[in-house]
Amino acid sequence: MFKIQNMEPVEIRIAMMRAGLTQSQLARELGATQQLVYHVIQGNTVSDRVRKHIAARIGIDIKRIWPDPYLYYGGPRKAGRPVCDGQRKAS
């Protein structure tokens, strides 16, 4: 099976430069740190909120930038504990 690769960080940065954006500017818009934006672009950290914001601001579909979670896994993974159905073990 052929798998589409995520965009390289340098390609994302080139798209940001073409759109006249900096990592600092994106961080301010998100109310996040510049380090978070950097690590998401590098692929070291996953943040659906940051990814969606970057994709919207540079005008490229998120599925083209980061196809792995959106094309192959049905969307970003859910954080936190699984939802409990309310049933507890009898003690």
Residues 6 or more apart whose Cβ sits within 8 Å of residue 15: 58, 59, 60
Does residue 2 register a pLDDT over 70? no
Provide the pLDDT confidence category of residue 8 given band limits of 50, 70 and 90. very high
Which domains can be identified in the chain, with CATH numbers? 9-72 (1.10.260.40)
Q: What gap in Å lies between CA 17 and CA 1, rounded to an integer?
A: 34
Higher pLDDT, 80 or 70: 70
pLDDT in tens, 9-19: 999 999 999 99
Q: What is the pTM of this model?
A: 0.75
Q: Give the pLDDT of residue 6.
A: 85
pLDDT in tens, 23-40: 999 999 999 999 999 999
- Quickly list H helices, 1-91: 9-18, 23-30, 34-42, 48-58, 62-65, 67
Average pLDDT, the chain: 83
Q: Give the pLDDT of residue 37.
A: 96
